[in-house]
């Protein structure tokens, strides 16, 4: 009987990055916490780029690429730390523009997410120009739902949306989820994301469409953007992330190697010291989750 695969704990990205042509790197929990950039992570990505590795930031942010760039500029992630970006918002915009949930939609999300309906990356702008317009309407008039998150993720939980979701389910509406993440850590707070509402909707019997990690559409978009940038479609890719249900499962489904950030949202599973995860607990937990990232590291550095 063979033993389950074991992950290898490494001290730095530089130890393995030379074996790859490109990185698909998660943002929240890996490169920043929503408020500030992590200096060691930034330096690691800068060093990878300096050695010839292409860095594509692959994020489940529900906002389009340009809005994410503005956020990165604001919190101190320099532009020489990355080459390209693909967001769940970009991927979900493609689904919206091609009619996945209709043209008249009800939006669940914060005011800060409104760029989802107005700002499109260059490779989506042409589609936005030729398709029939998307109209935001009240729930009772909607053909579908677009969920980018909670309206106030600092105070609300999915329970606040039970009545709306029940009505939507009764009306047979599909939900387009622009961010499959269930939770993220914003500074020292843990907050709910769009994926938590999508999960609640599915538990009621509603139908949800996902476009971010771990689902194929965002990886298809990332590969298209990587190929457009480099002129290659045969690159060796390493995926980096702290979310097992999203980053690590997604990498595995795409048959890509993964580097698991153990000090992120799952840190408490591996002992009391996030900077020194217990290897035995780590491997036992990964085996229980039926996941086997090739490498693990406490924090991106």
Which has more confidence, 266 or 189?
A: 266
Residue 148: closest CA among 201, 111, 187, 121: 111
As a whole-number percent, the residues of the chain with pLDDT over 70 amount to: 98
Looking at 85-94, 125-134, 196-205, 249-258, which range is the least confident one?
Answer: 125-134
Q: What is the mean pLDDT of residues 57-84?
A: 96
Residue 83: closest CA among 64, 67, 65, 63: 65
Q: Which residue has the tokens 């938590």?
A: 196
Residue 232 has pLDDT above 60, yes or no: yes
Q: pTM for this structure?
A: 0.89
pLDDT recorded at residue 95: 93
Q: What is the mean pLDDT of residues 211-239?
A: 96
| Span 199-214, pLDDT tens digits | 999 999 999 999 999 9
Q: Which residue has the tokens 């990964």?
A: 286
Residue 4 has pLDDT above 60, yes or no: no
Region for residue 124 given its phi and psi (left: phi exceeds 0; alpha: psi -120 to 50; beta: otherwise): alpha
Residue 3 has pLDDT above 60, yes or no: no
């Amino acid at each position: 009987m063979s033993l389950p695969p074991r992950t290898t704990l490494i001290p730095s990205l530089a130890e393995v990055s030379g074996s790859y042509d490109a990185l698909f790197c998660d943002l929240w929990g890996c490169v920043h916490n929503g408020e500030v950039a992590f200096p060691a992570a930034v330096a690691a990505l800068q060093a990878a780029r300096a050695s010839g590795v292409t860095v594509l930031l692959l994020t489940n942010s529900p906002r389009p690429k340009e809005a994410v760039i503005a956020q990165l500029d604001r919190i101190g992630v320099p532009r020489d730390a990355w080459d390209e970006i693909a967001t769940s918002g970009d991927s979900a915009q493609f689904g919206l523009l091609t009619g996945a949930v209709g043209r008249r939609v009800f939006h669940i999300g914060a005011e800060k997410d409104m760029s989802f309906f107005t700002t499109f990356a260059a490779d989506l702008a042409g589609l936005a120009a030729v398709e029939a317009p998307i109209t935001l309407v009240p729930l009772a008039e909607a053909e579908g739902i677009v969920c980018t998150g909670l309206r106030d993720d600092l105070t609300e939980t999915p329970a606040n949306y039970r009545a709306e979701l029940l009505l939507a389910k009764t009306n047979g509406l599909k939900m387009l989820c622009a961010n499959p993440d269930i939770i993220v850590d914003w500074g020292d707070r843990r907050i709910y994301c769009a994926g938590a509402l999508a999960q609640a909707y599915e538990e009621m019997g509603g139908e949800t469409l996902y476009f971010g990690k771990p689902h194929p559409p965002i990886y298809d978009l990332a590969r298209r953007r990587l190929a457009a940038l480099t002129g290659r479609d045969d690159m060796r890719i390493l995926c980096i992330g702290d979310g097992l249900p999203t980053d690590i499962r997604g990498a595995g489904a795409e048959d890509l190697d993964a580097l698991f950030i153990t000090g992120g949202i799952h840190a408490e599973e591996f002992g009391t010291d996030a900077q020194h995860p217990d290897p035995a607990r780590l491997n036992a937990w990964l085996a229980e989750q039926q996941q086997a990232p090739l490498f693990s590291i406490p924090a991106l550095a």
